[in-house]
Structures are given as C-alpha cells and as structure tokens.
Amino acid sequence: MPHDGPHHHHDHAPDDPSFASRSAIGARALRELLEEAGVLAPGEVARQVERMDTITPALGAQVVARAWVDPEFKARLLADGSAAVREFGVEMGATPLHVVENTETVHNMIVCTLCSCYPKPLLGIPPDWYKSFEYRSRAVREPRAVLAEFGVRVPDEIAVRVHDSTADLRYLVLPRRPEGTEGWDEARLAEIVSRDCMIGTALPNA
C-alpha cells in the first residue's frame, strides 16, 4: 500500500529534516529535565528503547499457539488479555489488551485511526504501513478492499469488524487455527502465525 503522510498539519511536515531535528532537540531537553527532577533514572529511556527493539511478533505468536492448544488459556485470553499474556512475562502496563477472535462468521481487523497505537509489549514496533495515513483512513471505510490488497478475501457471508486501538486500549486478533495442523505442537503452530495474522491483515496457512 502507498504510504501517505501523517494526519497532523504543521508548518513543517514530520518527515521534514528541520522538523525532525527540532523534535529530537525538544525530546532530549525534556528527558534531561525529567532525569534532573528524578522522575526518570539516567539512561532509562535508552534502556526502554533497547528493550522494545528486542521484542518481535514471535512472542505474540506463542500466545496464539497456546490459545489454539489450550482451551482454558484461550478462555482466559479472551476474558482478560492483559492478565493472560502476563503468563508469558508480558506486562501491558496501564493500557489493557483486548483479544478478538476470528470465527466462521466474523473476521477482525485492527487499526489506529489517530496515530499508531499498537500492542508493542507483545508484537514490538508496528510496521510502517500500519502507521500510514492511507491504512488508517481506508481500513474503517473500506475494510474488505484493504484486506483484498493484503491478499485476504473475506466472503460476503463473513462479517468484517474493524477495531480502533486507542491510547486507552490495545487489540490483538486471535486468528482461526487452520485445518491440517492437528497434532502440531505449540512451537510448530507458532511458526505459522505472522505479525499480520495478529493484526487481521493475513491468515495463518499450514
């Protein structure tokens, strides 16, 4: 999908080098003030960035695979996503995680229409297309067309539900377990769960 610019309007666009430079200076100044005030420990921001860089969608894939083989865990995941992923050592913090399940009658798709809200503690950094203006605007207006561009063609008899992530809530799609995976263990199942499957723009394939 083409990547349009962000939805905010400034005298200088966010991808303008001068804008980026001023933003970096402002962020550094704010960080230094917070460190001087004792709100942040020295180096805490850098450590958090490094930690985020180590998180990959493989962690979310493990959660999905567990839900496919363990009905009790699946029930906990759908009832309280934040509590369930804590069993994998994942802390969602103050932002709750809501897990939506794909079924024979419903296909779920995640978007953040305002910016790029995303379950980073579970999936890592969101892809560029997820943050693009085109995806954010079109996903809610013509989700079937957008899904088709990703190669996912949802039959008319299956409802498409689009969930808008916000600063107060994160979503994760629990895809349907594909046929032909009977007897597979969790590790093998996790290998067929991609990042896009957990956003709803792809389907796991055995």
Tokens of 124: 């890592």
Q: Count other Cβ atoms within 10 Å, centred on residue 53.
A: 10
Instruction: From the candidates 112, 132, 194, 197, give the one annotated as an active-site residue.
Output: 112
CB-based contacts of 86, cutoff 8 Å, min separation 6: 92
Told to judge if 197 belongs to the known catalytic residues of this protein, a careful annotator would answer no
Q: What is the DSSP string of 131-161?
A: HSHHHHHHHHH-HHHHHHHTT----TTSEEE
Are 204 and 177 within 8 A, CB to CB?
yes
Contacts of 16 (CB under 8 A, 6+ apart): none
Q: Which of 18, 23, 82, 115 is catalytic?
A: 115
Catalytic residue, chosen from 21, 23, 82, 117, is 117
Catalytic annotation, pick one of 23, 82, 116, 197: 116
Rounded to whole angstroms, how far apart are CA atoms 82 and 121?
10
- Give the residue numbers marked as catalytic: 112, 115-117
